[in-house]
Amino acid sequence: MGLRRLIGRVLGPLFAIMSALSEGNVLGDALPAPETTAPSRDYQVAWLKLAKGWEKGSDATLFLGIRAGKATTVWFCAPPRTDCHRMWADEVTVTLAGGALKGDVKGRMVKVWAPIAHVGDYAYSIDAKVSAGKVDGVFSARIALAGAKEQTLSGSLSGELMSEERLEKDQGLPAGKDWPGYYGAGWAFHGPDCGATMIDDLAAAKPLWKAEEPLPCMWGKGPDGRYKTRACVVGVDGGASSPIVAGGLVYVFYFRPAGALPTGEKTPTEARLREEAAKATSSPIGQQAYVEWHRPLADDVVVCFHAASGKTMWETVLKERGINLQTHKWRGFNPVPLVADGVVYVVNYANRVYALDAKSGKLLWEYGKGSRQFTASSATPLMADGVLVASVGEMVGLDPKSGKELWKRPGGNLLLWRDEARERVIAISEHRFKDAAGKDAASTLVSCVEPKTGKLLWKADTPLWSPRDVGPLIEGNLLVGCETTKGEKAGEADFAKDTHVLCYRLKDGGLEKLWAVTAPYPALDKFALAIAGGCVYVAGSQETFCLKLETGEKLGAAKAGGARTQTMFAADGRVLIQPEGRHGGQSFFMLDGDPKNFRLLPASAASGELKHAGAGQWVPPHVPDTAYANHPVGYPLVDGRLFVRGHDGLYCYDLRKPGP
């Protein structure tokens, strides 16, 4: 493919967006009113075992979320198939009435890479009786793959039906134990201390639910301009914001395409788009996704789920306030909500700020007229000394009750520095300048800002890596980050030689460097960091090591690591790593976080293709996806419950040991 053609394919969607905006769809003009919906009536979940109902004669586990007697959520909780990558449930007619659970689940079987194709269709039918929460019956299935003989399956099914009351009793989170923002219960990727007794083998992780409301895919499997018909099989993307947990509820922000299709002499009509889509799939759903790919604007959506069951509590749609970007290689921040004092604060991908009531989803206020550019300036807003601070191109201080602007100044990625005396805002940004030889140079600027007034207290140039990254963390009065210096022909040896973990003490007058530790293995793009229990955990490409926070002393190491844009987080004595955050594959390593026993824990029934260092890689049985670069997806871990955003929804696993 020629360079000009490649550039056209990648940048074409952006030009279409700008054209649409110039024709009058300018963000900030007379916007539609927000819409909040809160589903009512009872919600139940069913877990069913379909004997020999999967590939190669293995059993299939089917999860159903049931609202008011109708199945709203489907999850084939089973190992990946070899004949397709995804099984979409396009038509669900399963009902629960009069002690009978019966109906059909039909959909597409697709491959998302090599080839990107709709490769077949399937249909499962179930016919079962329900008594005292027990489910027994039969199923039949049809698998029709292109170019292959149709397969038929049938057999017995069994399982259980669980009420909301039981789910709350068995799976509810303890009060006051939250992961209210991207960085967890603080600013260092650690969760609250819940005293949970955790499993020692990730293969023992128990699937709990798939959330009722579906979510769009993220950047990892996003359909960009190089292969936009991929939307016919993966759907459209909606950003890669991370879930957060507060007050027994889970919140997720995403966007979905909106607005009239662009018009113009060289712009394809909707009829033309449908003709193009029909060549890639016979599915009306897949064809519609291809049309949606081309819309210039986006609705912003915030959805709230019950943490014990995954049922939808409310959904608020803020119409046509964002920009629709369909891509795979988004290298910016993915704004994550913050919950504080009963309010959900969200910054979108166009520099708007929203405040919503955390219980009802009602929009309380919004700030900003939006940007014509798809952008994000920080991982999350923060609350400091009673002021909401957000990055919207600039750093702004807002009254959290009204959204009134209090101050504005240059900003960056935001962190909170809290000590016994007060709270201050730390902003990480890029400083470009000319060096002594007159050549362009850059450093990472750390700025300290007084939250009440926006006054700059101090600033310091540092060698910390990538200000356009979630990089540095804060624990107490210490700031920890990485320094990675690339040569002109940077390779792994160059990364290994010039990569350090740095620790600074935050002081009233600036930064004091405490220690630097040379990394024993190279970083591919960057290291993953987490801080918990007085330890700094650092994951490189081949090894994860544990350092003493105060001194940098190496306390332990384990052969586990990852590739690019990996994520690491800690809670209740465990450290977890998601080793690859760019291309849509999700897996996890788990380590014992005790520095006296720091080691990789097993995953004895590991599934999927193992691509990273370590024998304990666990591939969870849901449809995976990731962000792309710079800002990986975060995974809240609260009282042993792991919340994972996948390709098509939010999933929850229990990592606690079973009780007696």
- Concatenated DSSP letters of 24-87: T--TTSSPPPPEEE---S-EEEEEEEETT-SGGG--EEEEEEEETTEEEEEEE-SPPPSS-SEE
Bridge partners for 340 per DSSP: 343
**pLDDT at residue 523, rounded to an integer:** 61
The tokens of 194 are what? 């819940």
The residues with which 138 forms a beta bridge, in sequence order, are 127, 156
The CATH fold of domain 43-162: Lipocalin (2.40.128)
Contact 109, 83 (CB under 8 A): yes
Q: Model-level pTM?
A: 0.94
Q: Which residues pair with 131 in a beta bridge?
A: 134
Report which of 394, 592, 478, 515 is spatially closest to residue 187, judged by C-alpha positions: 478
**Rounded Cα–Cα distance for residues 64 and 216 (Å):** 19
**Long-range contacts, 441-445 (Cβ 8 Å, 24+):** 445/412
Q: Average pLDDT for consecutive 10-residue bins of the chain (660 residues)? A: 44 45 46 95 96 95 98 94 95 97 98 93 98 98 95 98 96 97 97 96 95 97 93 97 98 97 91 96 97 97 98 98 95 95 97 98 95 90 98 96 97 92 93 84 91 97 79 95 62 53 96 90 74 94 91 93 84 94 89 96 61 69 92 96 98 93
E-assigned strands of 421-573?
423-434, 440-449, 456-462, 473-475, 478-484, 499-507, 510-518, 528-532, 535-539, 544-548, 554-558, 567-571
**Contact (CB, 8 A) for 391 and 414:** yes
CA torsion sign, 198 to 203 to 204 to 205?
positive
- Other CB atoms within a 10 A radius of the CB of residue 155 amount to 15
Count of beta carbons in the 10 Å neighbourhood of residue 372: 14
Question: Do residues 643 and 241 make contact, with C-beta atoms less than 8 angstroms apart?
Answer: no
For residues 410 and 82, what is the distance between their CA atoms, to the nearest angstrom? 51
Q: What is the dihedral of CA 612, 613, 614, 616, to 10 degrees?
A: -10
Token readout for 248 is 């027994």
Give residue 592's pLDDT: 97
Q: Provide the pLDDT for residue 470.
A: 74
Q: What are phi and psi of 295, to 5 degrees?
A: -75, 145
Full strand arrangement of the beta sheet holding 589-592: 567-571, 574-578, 589-592, 599-600
Minimal CA–CA distance to 531: which of 480, 467, 492, 602?
Answer: 480
Nearest partner of 554 among 575, 537, 568, 579, judged by Cα: 537
CA distances from 634 to 32, 190, 335, 568, 649 (A): 31, 11, 11, 8, 15
The 3-class secondary structure across 570-591, one letter per residue, is EECCEEEEECCCCCCCCCEEEE
**Residue linked to tokens 């069994």:** 158
DSSP annotation of 487 reads -
Distance CA 344, CA 338 (A): 6
Report helix, strand or coil for 232: helix
At residue 347, what is the residue type? V
Q: Return d(Cα 624, Cα 455) in angstroms, integer.
A: 44
Rounded Cα–Cα distance for residues 231 and 294 (Å): 10
Describe the chain by its helix, strand, coil percentages, rounded to 5. Answer: 10, 45, 45
CB atoms within 10 A of CB 332: 19
Quick one: 295 exposed, middle or buried, by C-beta within 10 A (0-12, 13-18, 19+)? buried
Q: In whole angstroms, give the CA distance from residue 102 to residue 88.
A: 19
Pairing of the two strands 641-645 and 151-162: unpaired
Tens-digit pLDDT profile for residues 86-142: 999 999 999 999 999 999 999 999 999 889 999 999 999 999 999 999 999 999 999
Pick from 261, 251, 372: which is nearest to 312 by CA? 251
H/E element holding 127?
Answer: strand 116-131
Strand partners, 430: 444
Domain limits, the chain? 43-162, 202-654
Expressed in angstroms, the distance from the first to the final Cα of the chain is 62
**Are β-strands 554-558 and 544-548 bridged in parallel, bridged antiparallel, or unpaired?**
antiparallel
CATH fold group of domain 202-654: Methylamine Dehydrogenase; Chain H (2.130.10)
Asked if 383 and 340 touch (Cβ cutoff 8 Å), the reply is yes
CB 409 within 8 A of CB 395: yes
Name the nearest CA neighbour of 187 among 488, 421, 419.
419
Give residue for tokens 């079962």.
128
Cα–Cα distance measured from residue 437 to residue 412, given in angstroms and rounded to the nearest whole number: 28
Q: How many residues does the chain have?
A: 660
Pairing mode of beta strands 405-409, 456-462: unpaired
Query: DSSP string spanning 258-325?
Result: ESPPP-STTSPPHHHHHHHHHTT-S-HHHHHHHHHHT-SEEEEEEEEEETTT--EEEEEEEEEEEE--
Instruction: Look at residue 617 in the predicted model and tell me its pLDDT.
Output: 87
